[in-house]
Amino acid sequence: MDGENTAKMILCNLIQEFTELNGDRKLGDDISVCGGIGYLHDIPVTVIAHNRGRTLAERIQCNFSMTTSIGFKKSERLCMQAEKFQRPIIQIVDTVGAHIEDENNIGQHYFIASHIKNMLELNSPIGCIIAGNALNTAALAMSISD
């Protein structure tokens, strides 16, 4: 499926009335992580998916699906919101790993560990789909599930 953005394709075909929510409300937005709310068979759900991009320009913009610290904070915010509103979480993982040159230099290892810890403490049901690549700690942090 070269040239395809598998995680986004699954999201578009699985979730109805998807509304994307951007940013972590403090540091900015990482478009390598696409997240929001929608419906799975009339059940409201929170969805978090990796965005790989389709064209070379899109892939560069999405860091080739490599999540930055802001992306982990964005995912964590969406998970906390799902917990608050008692929505199940669906994660669609397709990443080659964490972004090694995190331009914000704000402790990416801390955000990965924090994300894993918080995911393990959630009461919301969590499902995970491995849609392609699942390498490195970024995939581990984003693939915690029940």
Chain centroid to Cα 103, Å, comes to 19
- CATH assignment at residue 35: 3.90.226.10
Cβ pair 108, 141 in contact under 8 A: no
pLDDT band at 72 (very low <50, low <70, confident <90, very high): confident
**Of 40 and 59, the one with more pLDDT:** 40
pLDDT band at 125 (very low <50, low <70, confident <90, very high): very high
pLDDT at 15: 87
**HSE (side-chain half, CA atoms, 13 Å) at 38:** 21
Total number of domains constituting the chain: 1
pLDDT band at 33 (very low <50, low <70, confident <90, very high): confident
Lowest mean pLDDT among 81-85, 133-137, 138-142: 133-137
**Of 19 and 104, the one with more pLDDT:** 19
Structural domain includes residue 38: yes
**pLDDT higher than 60, residue 2:** no
- How is residue 134 written in tokens? 């699942």
Structural domain includes residue 1: no
- How is residue 77 written in tokens? 């915010």
pLDDT at 82: 94
pLDDT at 3: 46
Cβ pair 108, 102 in contact under 8 A: yes
* Residue 111, C-beta contacts closer than 8 angstroms, at least 6 positions apart: 69, 72, 73, 76
Q: What rounded mean pLDDT belongs to the chain?
A: 81
Tokens 């969590």 label which residue?
126
**pLDDT higher than 70, residue 103:** no
For 83, the domain range is 6-142
Rounded to whole angstroms, the Cα distance separating 98 from 100 reads 6
Structural domain includes residue 87: yes
pTM: 0.83
Cβ pair 47, 18 in contact under 8 A: yes
Structural domain includes residue 43: yes
